[in-house]
Amino acid sequence: MILQKDNHFLLSSKDTSLLIHVNEVKKVSLEYLGKRIDSLDYIDGVIRSYPYLQGSEILYDKEKTGYSLNQAKLLFSTLGKGDFFSPSCLLKSDSLSVFDFCFDHAEIKTPETLASLPCPDGGEEELVITLKEKEKNIFVDLCFTTYQDENVISCFQRVRNEEKEALIVNKLASLQIPLINEGYELYSTYGCWSGELSVQHEKVTRGKKVMESLCGWSSARHNPFFFLKSENATFDEGHVIGFNLMYSGNFENSVEMDAFENIRVQVSLSPFSFEKKLEEHECFITPVALFSNSQKGVNKMSQDFHSFINRHIIPKEFRGKDRPIAYNNWEATNFDFNQGKINSLIKKASELGIELFVLDDGWFGERNDDTKGLGDWNVNEKKLPKGLKGLAESAKKHGMQFGIWMEPEMVNPNSNLYQNHPDWVIQDSVHTLSEGRNQLVLNLAKKEVQDFVVESVCSVLESADISYLKWDCNRAISDFKNEDGTFFFSYIEGLYSALRRIRERHPNVLMENCASGGNRFDLGMLSFFPQSWQSDDTDSYQRTMIQEGGSLGYPLSTLSNHVACKVSKTRLRNTSLDTKFDVACFGVLGYELDLDDLSKLEMKIIKSQIELYKKYRSVFQWGTFSQSNLLENKEKQVQVEKDGVFLIGKYQTLQSASPKEKHL
């Protein structure tokens, strides 16, 4: 719901309202963010007044004796007129270094769809507040969308140049939210390969905290999701505000607090190596940012995001649709397999009740290790004389679907693709190229490379009865040439374009996102991939922490978790199959171990696990998820509920000699 009265705008989601105010000097500020209110009749009491300047701040307008931009709760900010927080917008031109934007007009309309970037669907109304530079025909649109029956509001921004002189955009945040400190703690996730989505929290103090990625993708180093928890809030009570960015490339999220405990939160595309030139009549649009305000603790904030992602972001074909239980052959075989070995695994997987067989890396080109063949998407007939079609038919014969692994964005230098198109890889044409996992990155900013990726993937999907695709991405970007100032952004636009075309041709293929584990796990990818591989680390203890971090901001339907061999290949820790299942079942279940090495008892255990999961699958994947604490005290309890069925997991990671009494 969006209401307007004079110079006030009230935006409301299910439980939350924002009051936006245009003041006497035409600056746009956020005057209220809290519990839902349904009327603009009695809001004068929350409008701030500024009778005096704080300290030595700059007076913005001599007619307003106390008004400084540094005090104001601005939704948009620039440098040069007395605002000394980090700006949400950085512009420059030959004639201007300082830009002063003021309210021009506003419109309430039907939400628009972004042309090259993913965005949520199902928006109810959109408020577009247009700001104009005082002396130039340069405009910024602040675009807020509300969603009926949801507690999430989305925002993106657009800068338009209507001057003959070129305009350079170095930064444009998708969202800026001003807050007054409530003793906030900042919760975010950090990580690395096999240790993704580790939760950290810290008191918000004066200064600026930045969570960012500069490697070309949204990264396990920091996830775009984060939240602020007020001092007395718990998992079930109190004020919590969550934020996320619907983008898969470099980002910069920040929380900044000044001496007076004024806070500004920014959710933004990274300004690192970004310089967008706008000629007359050109515009630039940011990715979509999302935020959710909870008065009932961390769990309510998480549940609101979960519901929103399931209803408005993941592909429509898979909303509410139960995911199959998969078996992946990677940990059983690595690159060393043949048709007979795979058929043996297919047969045993079917006996366990598994529904989807996934053939991982090593099925194409001269791919017997990770040094060659990547990019040559033709079947290795020495390994698979009957090809993918033969395996798909074998899976179908045993009552299973068939899926395939690909890494379409990458290429080995030792491949036919690279020999024929060395100019297709990302390179600066000066330095010797650095490799990661013996591979280079294809330049998806180029249309011909996008076309190759689309045709390669679609040709494989159309070569057999394939219902699932695991899309991997095993290295970050290096050696880039940023000729037009927007290379990283253009790469992600190219990736989205390719994914959009593939989904249009194969809308019913279940695609799972993977990036060397959980390196590129974000809302942008989830708009094309209904589920995402959380980590290559399948050790139960590490997975408990990974799934803890993931479930804070993302629904269980998107978390792909596998039961693997008893001795973890990443941690060398011996864990029972029971424990592995007890962790992995909260999400989309799969298996990844050598079935030929299992005893009869172990096969029986796995079969009973699968029967249990199938009985409660819709609860595990689509239920309302809650957690009682973080894993810091070595104990963890989670719960998922749907239609009156409650499933609870309680975990203890390290036993002590004198444990206290435990309570469920």
Contact by Cβ (8 Å): 395, 401: yes
**Pairwise CA distance, residues 193 & 536, whole Å:** 8
Contact by Cβ (8 Å): 293, 16: yes
- Read off the amino acid at residue 304: D
**Pairwise CA distance, residues 632 & 86, whole Å:** 33
Reported as half-sphere exposure (CB side, CA atoms, 13 A), residue 285 has a value of: 15
**Pairwise CA distance, residues 58 & 72, whole Å:** 12
Instruction: Residue 23: count other Cβ atoms within 10 Å of its Cβ.
Output: 20
Contact by Cβ (8 Å): 614, 589: no
Contact by Cβ (8 Å): 181, 263: yes
| Of 663, 637, 646, 653, the residue nearest 299 (C-alpha) | 637
**Pairwise CA distance, residues 294 & 238, whole Å:** 8
- Read off the amino acid at residue 159: V
CA–chain centroid gap for 108, Å, is 28
**Pairwise CA distance, residues 408 & 388, whole Å:** 17
Active site residue 536: yes
User: Positive or negative CA dihedral for 362, 368, 369, 371?
Assistant: negative
Q: How far is CA 636 from CA 424, 589, 602, 630, 642, in A?
A: 48, 20, 26, 7, 21
Between strands 288-294 and 401-406, the pairing is: unpaired
Instruction: For residue 455, give every residue at least 6 positions away whose Cβ sits within 8 Å of its Cβ, in sequence order, or none.
Output: none
DSSP 8-38: EEEEE-SSEEEEEEE-TT--EEEEEEEE---
**Pairwise CA distance, residues 46 & 56, whole Å:** 26
| Of 482, 640, 660, 457, the residue nearest 557 (C-alpha) | 640
The catalytic residue among 361, 376, 536, 539 is 536
Instruction: Residue 208: count other Cβ atoms within 10 Å of its Cβ.
Output: 14
DSSP 481-500: --TTS-HHHHHHHHHHHHHH
Contact by Cβ (8 Å): 605, 613: no
**Pairwise CA distance, residues 73 & 178, whole Å:** 5
Phi, psi angle pair for 456, to nearest 5°: -65, -50
Q: Quick one: DSSP state of residue 423?
A: G
**Pairwise CA distance, residues 377 & 415, whole Å:** 10
Instruction: Residue 38: count other Cβ atoms within 10 Å of its Cβ.
Output: 10
Rounded to a whole number of angstroms, the CA Rg of the chain reads 26
Active site residue 484: no
Bridge partners for 326 per DSSP: 356, 590
Element housing 461 (H / E): helix 447-461
The catalytic residue among 376, 472, 537, 539 is 472
Print the SS3 string covering 534-592: CCCCCCHHHHHHHHHHHHHHCCHHHEEEEEECCECCCCCCECCHHHHHHHHCCCEEEEE
Q: Which positions are annotated as active-site residues?
A: 472, 536
